[in-house]
Structure 1
Amino acid sequence: MKDREADVSASDAGVSGDGPSRHGGEAPRPGRQAAVRPVNGHGNGDAAQPKGKTRKRRKRRRGRKVFARDGVQLAAGGKPAESTVPVAGPAVSLKPSNPVARPEVAEQPRRMPVSDLPVFAALDLGTNNCRLLVAVPGRPGQFRVIDAFSRIVRLGEGLSASGRLGQAAMDRAVEALKVCSDKLRNRKIKKARLIATEACRSAANGAEFIDRVEREAGLKLEIIDRQTEARLAVSGCGSLVERDTDGVVLFDIGGGSSEIALIDVSRHRSPRLANHIVSWTSLPVGVVSLAERFGGRTVTREIFAAMVEDVATRLRSFDGRDRLAHVVSSPKFHLLGTSGTVTTLAGVHLELDRYDRRRVDGLWMDGTSVDRMVEKVLGWDFQQRVANPCIGADRADLVLAGCAILEAIRAVWPSERLRVADRGLREGILSELMADDGVWRRNWRNGQRT
């Protein structure tokens, strides 16, 4: 959310931070080894096999065993896992492999050692989460995550009632940011962007908190406006909008605000999806603020309906909501959600025993499936939500508020297709930092690494 190296697209960091298993703590310390699971009863699966008989099997299997620790995917022996996804065009499923053990193929372009590549970082302090990604550029439009961190801090707890950040909430956030600061100091960072969003934007003491972070954690955070937040969310999800798409409503349901961007690609498409935003809005309501006003632990159907109507009223005042009217009825139109709400529903839909980003990110859900999942979660009491491995205690009191925001969005832009994105602002930041720095133009010539 990890001392690991993984190829990811500039809009697709291999680790995001919205599912319960991703909230976990820090990455393993450098040099820490992941426990190796015995294969066929032996501590070392390859060593136990007879020579000659399994040579091909060993080659296929070598480097593919991946173990999870604190939401970090590590290859056997503690080696980082690798994932690759293109920034634009059809999404490719993430397939773990071991870049160290995989044999080189003569036709493949050579890979520059990670130590020789410029390092970029993106930090997002939101109303609910604190998340960090550190990455190096890969193939054009891709990057490799070499470190990351994610922790729920609930910085916006109590903000909707008091208008101020609470002391305990600020303390939690500062402690998480100190971890991020340590990680950044251990790297030679070429460029970084450290942002704070709605909680710091709207709190009366938001600027004071930013000063405290600089004093105590040594990080200078930038409070971004809502338009920038919407643009970065779009930049982070570019590869999930396929080439034959006409239009998309992308939404990011946050803790204190929800960003919605209408994207029209029916006429042409440039490399930056954010260039095609025709209208956007930022609702000053998110899962934390909505749950605090209506209650999150005990949610009756009447309370849920009231939450949906609260959000729907805000959407009715959005003047640009009809800018995609010419494509909404097209089969090439769909919704794209990037938030803990949609990733949680996707995990419930897949009946996962443990949240798995590789199965969730890029998943398509039809309207009937979304209806069924919302109804299912609405029918659970608080303890049943806690018991679900894709919700857990951290989200049990927030998930229905997120579902209410989702339902209000679906009512305005009805679509039979919803695509789930486990990615967001940090991926968008890294995409823009690397593109603006020109790393892909400098490091590649005619498809070869230079």
Structure 2
Amino acid sequence: MDDEARPKGGLDPSRTRGPRRSPWGRRHAFGQESHGHQSGGHHNGNAVSDRSTPTYAALDLGTNNCRLLVARPTSDSFRVIDAFSRIIRLGEGISSTGRISEAAIDRAVGALTVCRDKIVTRGVTRARLIATEACRSAENGDAFVQRVRDAVGIDLEIIDRKTEARLAATGCTPLVDPAASSVVLFDIGGGSSEIVNMGSVNGQAGPPKPIIRDWASLPVGVVTLAEKHGGIEVSRDVFERMIQEVEGYLAPFAEKNAELKNSTSLHLLGTSGTVTTVAGIHLGLRRYDRRQVDGCWMTSGQIDTALEQLLAMRYEDRVANACIGAERADLVLAGCAILEAIRRAFPSERLRVADRGLREGMLVEMMRDDEVWWRKNA
């Protein structure tokens, strides 16, 4: 897929058509019934849409981040035409209170309002808007979704862990080495971490499809682990305790997939801010650059070196590092502990880094469902 882009200007108003059935199914993403009746949703009178090419949006409201991609299909993939990402820490404090806080709700509403406006302005014809672990685990998760519907005018879908694992696999499948006998994909999130034993299959229109042999969702992420053990001052003893906690959650999956440890061509495939940060440290980037990070390979020794560099940094050093920053400086070592637990369970000489995941998976599934690549190649 092409790198994220932000073209200037709007779409051609001469290409706009009248109302049609909502592409979001029973309910429109902005609170409209499928027959077109307005029910309190947001309306932007300046929004225009180029109906000659379908435009898709994928929104991932996670425990730590709110992310959006808007894209249009190409001959065999898609091109991103707009994007948004903001750290909102929706899951902050849930591990102790069991609830999404008012401050986190306010941050989420602000970010989702930006996303809504982008979706409207870009004339999106089909969208999927999901929420993950924070909304799954919080006792007020459903109330939060209703509040977002009332305040912003969008309907969030709280997905289950199996769906989250499948979407991550779908989004990352283009980075699977076809020569590998086995691949362990992992997605280190804010409140949960998904791990998948997978392969891929090609020979069809569009991106390759994942073959999911097994999967698990670990009830631990960077936010929950850092809140429990601390994330500002992390000694090596604390880091090891983090790893051991994750190993306990990971053990059933590792035992069930023990044959992977003996695979000579196994490679790891990691998608998360943790993994992209480790790659940025390894590459010595003065400023994060997705073009250099997404798809890059790291050896086991290179990962060890990058982890040592991160452990040696003071909190102030992590804040000052352009690949980490103030918003993630207290979370990155918790993510590194999850990464290290996975590496110990599934030793591999190679890790491929993915700056992609759930959003890309949603885009691929929607486009495949609409058969856009079959039509383009017919």
Task: Please say if residues 279 and 321 of structure 1, whose CA atoms lie closer than 8 Å, have aligned partners that are also in contact.
Answer: no
The match for 2:55 is 119
Secondary structure of the residue that 1:406 maps to in structure 2? helix
Rate the CA distance shift 1:440–1:212 in 2: closer, same or farther, 3 A.
same
Task: Please say if residues 176 and 199 of structure 2, whose CA atoms lie closer than 8 Å, have aligned partners that are also in contact.
Answer: no
With 157-166 and 181-190 compared, the bigger mean Cα shift is at 181-190
Query: Aligned partners of 1:270, 1:292: CA distance in 2, in Å?
Result: 45
Structural mapping, 1:235-274, within 5 Å: 235-264=170-199
List gaps (5 residues or longer) in structure 1: 1-7, 17-26, 32-112, 446-450
Residue type of the partner of 1:388?
A: N
101, 113, 130: which one aligns with 1:195 = 130
The match for 1:180 is 115
The match for 1:381 is 314
Report the Cα offset of residue 276 of structure 1: 1.6
List gaps (5 residues or longer) in structure 2: 11-48
136, 143, 160: which one aligns with 1:225 = 160
Task: Please say if residues 193 and 220 of structure 2, whose CA atoms lie closer than 8 Å, have aligned partners that are also in contact.
Answer: yes
Task: Please say if residues 15 and 357 of structure 1, whose CA atoms lie closer than 8 Å, have aligned partners that are also in contact.
Answer: no
Rate the CA distance shift 1:328–1:269 in 2: closer, same or farther, 3 A.
farther
Q: TM-score, normalised by structure 2?
A: 0.85
Report the Cα offset of residue 184 of structure 1: 1.2
Report the Cα offset of residue 337 of structure 1: 0.2
Query: Aligned partners of 1:114, 1:321: CA distance in 2, in Å?
Result: 51
Query: Aligned partners of 1:183, 1:206: CA distance in 2, in Å?
Result: 25
Rate the CA distance shift 1:28–1:299 in 2: closer, same or farther, 3 A.
farther
Residue type of the partner of 1:244?
A: A
What is the number of equivalent residue pairs in this alignment?
338
Residue type of the partner of 2:148?
A: V
- Structure 1 residue 421 and structure 2 residue 334: aligned? no
Task: Please say if residues 367 and 417 of structure 1, whose CA atoms lie closer than 8 Å, have aligned partners that are also in contact.
Answer: yes
- Structure 1 residue 323 and structure 2 residue 257: aligned? yes
Deviation digits for residues 355-390 of structure 1 (CA, Å, limit 9, x no counterpart): 000000011000011011111101111001111111
Query: Aligned partners of 2:350, 2:223: CA distance in 1, in Å?
Result: 26
- Structure 1 residue 297 and structure 2 residue 232: aligned? yes
Task: Please say if residues 169 and 210 of structure 2, whose CA atoms lie closer than 8 Å, have aligned partners that are also in contact.
Answer: no
Report the Cα offset of residue 137 of structure 1: 0.7
Rate the CA distance shift 1:316–1:208 in 2: closer, same or farther, 3 A.
same
Task: Please say if residues 230 and 260 of structure 1, whose CA atoms lie closer than 8 Å, have aligned partners that are also in contact.
Answer: yes
Report the Cα offset of residue 264 of structure 1: 4.2
199, 211, 217: which one aligns with 1:276 = 211
Report the Cα offset of residue 15 of structure 1: 3.5
Residue type of the partner of 1:125?
A: L
Rate the CA distance shift 1:275–1:235 in 2: closer, same or farther, 3 A.
closer
119, 130, 155: which one aligns with 2:90 = 155
Task: Please say if residues 4 and 81 of structure 2, whose CA atoms lie closer than 8 Å, have aligned partners that are also in contact.
Answer: no
Query: Aligned partners of 1:324, 1:139: CA distance in 2, in Å?
Result: 39
Report the Cα offset of residue 331 of structure 1: 3.9
Structural mapping, 1:35-46, within 5 Å: none
Query: Aligned partners of 1:167, 1:408: CA distance in 2, in Å?
Result: 34
Structural mapping, 1:284-363, within 5 Å: 284-318=219-253, 321-323=255-257, 325=259, 327-363=260-296
Deviation digits for residues 55-77 of structure 1 (CA, Å, limit 9, x no counterpart): xxxxxxxxxxxxxxxxxxxxxxx
Query: Aligned partners of 1:186, 1:423: CA distance in 2, in Å?
Result: 24
Rate the CA distance shift 1:165–1:391 in 2: closer, same or farther, 3 A.
same
Identity of matched residues, %: 58
Residue type of the partner of 2:237?
A: E
Task: Please say if residues 214 and 220 of structure 1, whose CA atoms lie closer than 8 Å, have aligned partners that are also in contact.
Answer: yes
User: Which has the larger helix fraction?
Assistant: 2
77, 80, 92: which one aligns with 1:145 = 80
Report the Cα offset of residue 442 of structure 1: 1.4
Secondary structure of the residue that 2:169 maps to in structure 1? helix
Query: Aligned partners of 2:269, 2:297: CA distance in 1, in Å?
Result: 9
Residue type of the partner of 2:120?
A: R
Report the Cα offset of residue 415 of structure 1: 0.3
Task: Please say if residues 234 and 273 of structure 1, whose CA atoms lie closer than 8 Å, have aligned partners that are also in contact.
Answer: no
Report the Cα offset of residue 187 of structure 1: 2.9
Bigger Cα Rg: 1
Rate the CA distance shift 1:29–1:153 in 2: closer, same or farther, 3 A.
farther
Query: Aligned partners of 2:199, 2:82: CA distance in 1, in Å?
Result: 34
Report the Cα offset of residue 330 of structure 1: 3.6
- Structure 1 residue 129 and structure 2 residue 65: aligned? yes
Q: TM-score, normalised by structure 1?
A: 0.72
Query: Aligned partners of 2:297, 2:190: CA distance in 1, in Å?
Result: 24
With 272-281 and 181-190 compared, the bigger mean Cα shift is at 272-281
- Structure 1 residue 396 and structure 2 residue 354: aligned? no
Deviation digits for residues 195-254 of structure 1 (CA, Å, limit 9, x no counterpart): 000000000000000001111111100000000000000000111012212110000000
Task: Please say if residues 167 and 362 of structure 2, whose CA atoms lie closer than 8 Å, have aligned partners that are also in contact.
Answer: yes
The match for 1:98 is none
The match for 1:69 is none
- Structure 1 residue 170 and structure 2 residue 105: aligned? yes
Structural mapping, 1:360-371, within 5 Å: 360-371=293-304
Query: Aligned partners of 2:362, 2:143: CA distance in 1, in Å?
Result: 25
- Structure 1 residue 208 and structure 2 residue 143: aligned? yes
Task: Please say if residues 256 and 285 of structure 1, whose CA atoms lie closer than 8 Å, have aligned partners that are also in contact.
Answer: yes
Query: Aligned partners of 2:301, 2:96: CA distance in 1, in Å?
Result: 36
Secondary structure of the residue that 2:287 maps to in structure 1? coil
The match for 1:75 is none
Secondary structure of the residue that 1:415 maps to in structure 2? coil
Residue type of the partner of 2:3?
A: G
Query: Aligned partners of 2:321, 2:366: CA distance in 1, in Å?
Result: 37
- Structure 1 residue 14 and structure 2 residue 12: aligned? no
Secondary structure of the residue that 1:427 maps to in structure 2? helix
Rate the CA distance shift 1:186–1:143 in 2: closer, same or farther, 3 A.
same
Secondary structure of the residue that 2:262 maps to in structure 1? coil
